[in-house]
Amino acid sequence: MPPVPAHAEPAATEPHRRRRAPLLLALALALLLQLVVLYLPGQAVPSAGFEVPGLDKAIHAAIFAAPAALIAAARLPAGWLVPLAAHAPVSEVLQLTLVPHRSADPWDVAADLTGVALGAAVGRAMRRWAVPGGGRRRGCRATRLEDRARQEYASTVSSSRGHDLGL
């Protein structure tokens, strides 16, 4: 087996790839859903439920939050959030100019960008809760300090047990 390069990150190892694959599939589906929702012609948008105040903005936030959360949870570079955020104002311009019976709303852009920010925060939290060790990478300072404290505690406990037995 060839040695692993010192600069290799844990995300590049096989178990991490297998854990990331479902997140990438979900990301692709979330982006596809986002495109369908944003560029559906106005006459094809169901009107049921849109009398609820703020529902349109909640949908905008959700369709941008889902991909952002999956990007963060999959440990993709934060730069992947830039095109997602840039798509917010672009989608409104395209809805106004190219999509029949749709209009642009600057509050939709605000909802979209809020969704990106909230999604990224949720995604970071998801990876902390889902990965053993809080989602921290091996070799980070906090992990080394925790490991050292565990070793010191274990050696203290084992040496005190030896005294109790008269060894």
| pLDDT in the model for residue 126 | 85
> What pTM, to 2 d.p., does this model score?
0.69
Is 57 a residue whose pLDDT tops 50? yes
Question: Do residues 69 and 116 make contact, with C-beta atoms less than 8 angstroms apart?
Answer: no
d(CA 81, CA 58) in angstroms, rounded, equals 19
Residue 94 contacts residue 104 (beta carbons within 8 Å): no
Q: What is the pLDDT of residues 116-162, one digit of tens each?
A: 999 999 999 987 776 555 555 555 556 667 777 778 887 777 666 65
pLDDT at site 11: 47
Other C-beta atoms closer than 10 Å to the C-beta of 81 total 20
| CA dist., res. 48 & res. 34, Å (int) | 19
38-42, 50-54, 106-110: range with lowest mean pLDDT: 50-54
- Phi and psi at 138, nearest 5°, equal -60, 145
Environment class of 89 (CB within 10 Å of its CB; exposed 0-12, middle 13-18, buried 19+) = middle
Question: Cα dist. 2→5, 6, 8, 137 in Å?
Answer: 9, 12, 13, 22
Closest CA to 68 of 54, 56, 78: 78
Instruction: Report whether pLDDT(43) > 70.
Output: yes
